[in-house]
């Protein structure tokens, strides 16, 4: 199996979240942390990783995830799907 990722433009993030499959994810690289978003059949799991500390947050909808992320994405963030 080959690991492939591709850059996501910030304006397409919500679209990618809506169509996320359970074997896919989104990584957001900020200057101070990394954020990983995955989806199970029922909800989203957001992992905010800062150094050696991981904080897991669960949300039920794309709107809730976007509301959370708007306060956690830097202007210089790089966003990738994998």
Q: Which of 72, 71, 74, 42 is nearest to 59 (CA)?
A: 42
37 alpha carbon, distance to own chain's centre: 3
Burial 36-49 (b: 16+ CB within 10 A, else e): bbbbeeeebebbbe
Per-residue pLDDT of 25-44, as tens digits, reads 999 999 999 999 999 988 99
Structure tokens at 73: 């994405």
- How many whole angstroms separate alpha carbon 2 and alpha carbon 44? 24
pLDDT number for residue 2 = 61
| Phi, psi (degrees; rounded to nearest 5) at 65 | -65, -45
pLDDT number for residue 4 = 81
**What pTM value is reported for the model?**
0.90
Per-residue pLDDT of 30-79, as tens digits, reads 999 999 999 998 899 999 999 999 999 999 999 999 999 999 998 899 99
């Amino acid at each position: 199996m080959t690991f492939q990722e591709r850059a996501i433009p910030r304006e397409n993030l919500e679209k990618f979240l809506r169509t996320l499959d359970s074997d896919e994810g989104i990584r957001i690289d900020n200057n101070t942390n990394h954020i990983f978003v995955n989806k199970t059949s029922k909800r989203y799991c957001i992992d905010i990783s800062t150094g050696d500390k991981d904080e897991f947050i669960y949300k039920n909808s794309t709107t809730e995830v976007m509301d959370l992320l708007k306060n956690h994405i830097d202007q210089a963030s790089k966003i990738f799907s994998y």
